[in-house]
């Protein structure tokens, strides 16, 4: 089975074991999954459904076409890439047999069902249930996809300093090389640094294990002072595979790659792990899902105004918090430079989120607090 943040409901490990075992014993029709209004349902037992959903066992395994080209996608000017991607996504939408699951902008049905399931099972097992805290946790992340984005870091940090919050920055090791003093300065400023991979070319998930392992370790060869300080990873463009995560688990403590839902990403029209709750996969790697809509799609595909972008982010965050999930946000420093109005949208979102009671935490803080050891059904 997959371990999720069950500590939110049943903190004691022995109690979790009893509840997990009871779910197995009483797995009947009433414990089948019905998502949202019943439009999506499954006859699978809960444990198997959860495993398949969170691990995205149905994710297409073929490497994205653009990452197989002799000419790197970065050779195409950004504006033209965005235009071509809008055409591609429109075609994907027309061709897809869309199940609507995971729902956008954020899927909450699986998390609601999990809470209901564990509530029922805890009652049947006679285990006291601790209601989930309404922590309204917000994690701020910034992937620095190219050297061009470095000046955008200070733009984002000025906003965050004004509001008294910190964030996490994903850094590459081969496409560019950052100055270690700049990474240390971010950490000294209360932020976190995580690995964003090697080249940001969409190939990591499909490499042989030895080459993937070399590229992941390359981060610490280029930035040796980050050993012991960098513990997290997010794959470039969120291109992912279960075989990639197996190797990532050897090098990093946690991962921030899987989106709760993504429309028109590298893997196709509608993909995602369908949960807003941190979880541990089959390889022991902890995942913190990306739960809020990405800035790239809102700003360059949907081409929304700054106030519309801020509203989309806040609405999605409220949906995540309504099921006890962690709102994980992503805005790229590169994109803030390309479209400065994104900075205004980011400030508006942060101000409104903080006014609504959001508590900003770093990825390593969430992972340390929210993930118990996995309860095993018997």
Could you write out the DSSP letters of every residue in 136-194? -EEEEEEE--SGGGHHHHHHHHHHHHHHT---EEEE-SSS----HHHHHHHHHTT-EEE
Residue 99's pLDDT is what? 78
| Residue carrying structure tokens 């073929």 | 62
Q: Could you tell me the CA-to-CA distances from 287 to 14, 64, 294, 343 in Å, in that order?
A: 23, 23, 18, 27
Residue 5's pLDDT is what? 64
Structure tokens at 284: 């022991």
Q: Could you tell me the CA-to-CA distances from 71 to 74, 75, 86, 242, 330 in Å, in that order?
A: 8, 7, 20, 27, 28
Dihedral over Cα of 14, 16, 19, 20: its sign: negative
Classify 40 as helix, strand or coil: strand
148, 335 Cβ separation under 8 angstroms: no
| Residue carrying structure tokens 């027309």 | 94
Q: What dotted CATH number matches 1-372?
A: 3.20.20.370
Q: Could you tell me the CA-to-CA distances from 273 to 23, 96, 214 in Å, in that order?
A: 22, 19, 27
Q: How far apart are CA 205 and CA 207, in angstroms?
A: 6
pLDDT along the chain (378 residues), means of 10: 62 75 56 42 68 90 82 86 94 86 92 80 78 79 96 98 98 96 98 97 95 98 97 97 96 97 94 93 93 98 97 98 94 97 98 97 88 45
Structure tokens at 158: 């000025």
């Amino acid at each position: 089975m997959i371990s999720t943040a069950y500590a939110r409901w049943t903190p004691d490990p022995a109690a979790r074991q009893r509840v997990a075992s009871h779910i197995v014993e009483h797995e009947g029709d009433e414990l089948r999954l019905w998502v949202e209004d019943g439009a999506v349902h499954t006859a699978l037992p809960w444990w198997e459904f959860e495993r398949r959903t969170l691990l995205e066992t149905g994710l297409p395994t073929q490497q994205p076409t653009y990452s197989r080209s002799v000419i790197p996608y970065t050779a195409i000017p950004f504006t033209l890439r965005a235009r071509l991607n809008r055409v591609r996504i429109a075609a994907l939408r027309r061709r897809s047999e869309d199940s609507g699951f995971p729902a956008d902008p954020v899927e909450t049905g699986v998390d609601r069902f999990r809470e209901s399931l564990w509530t029922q099972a805890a009652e049947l097992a006679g285990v006291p249930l601790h209601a989930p805290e309404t922590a309204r946790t917000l994690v701020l992340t910034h992937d620095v996809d190219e050297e061009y984005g470095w000046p955008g870091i200070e733009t984002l940090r000025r906003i965050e300093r004004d509001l008294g919050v910190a964030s996490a920055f994903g850094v590459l090791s081969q496409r560019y090389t950052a100055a270690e003093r700049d990474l240390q300065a971010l950490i000294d400023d209360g932020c976190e640094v995580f690995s964003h991979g090697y080249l940001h070319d969409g190939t990591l998930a499909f490499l042989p294990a030895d080459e993937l392992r070399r590229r992941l370790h390359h981060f610490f060869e280029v930035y040796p002072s980050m050993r012991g300080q960098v513990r997290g990873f997010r794959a470039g463009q969120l291109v992912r595979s279960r075989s990639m995560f197996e190797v990532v688990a050897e090098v990093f403590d946690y991962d921030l790659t899987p989106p709760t839902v993504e429309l028109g990403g590298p893997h196709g029209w509608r993909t995602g792990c369908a949960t807003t709750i941190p979880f541990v996969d089959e390889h022991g790697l902890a995942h913190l899902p990306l739960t809020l809509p990405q800035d790239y799609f809102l700003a360059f595909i949907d081409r929304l105004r700054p106030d519309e972008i801020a509203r989309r982010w806040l609405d999605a965050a409220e949906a995540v918090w309504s099921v006890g999930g962690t709102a994980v946000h992503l805005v790229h420093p590169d994109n803030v430079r390309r479209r400065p109005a994104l900075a205004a949208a980011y400030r508006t979102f942060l101000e409104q989120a903080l006014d609504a009671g959001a508590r900003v935490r770093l990825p390593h803080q969430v992972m340390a607090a929210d993930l118990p050891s996995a309860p095993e059904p018997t």
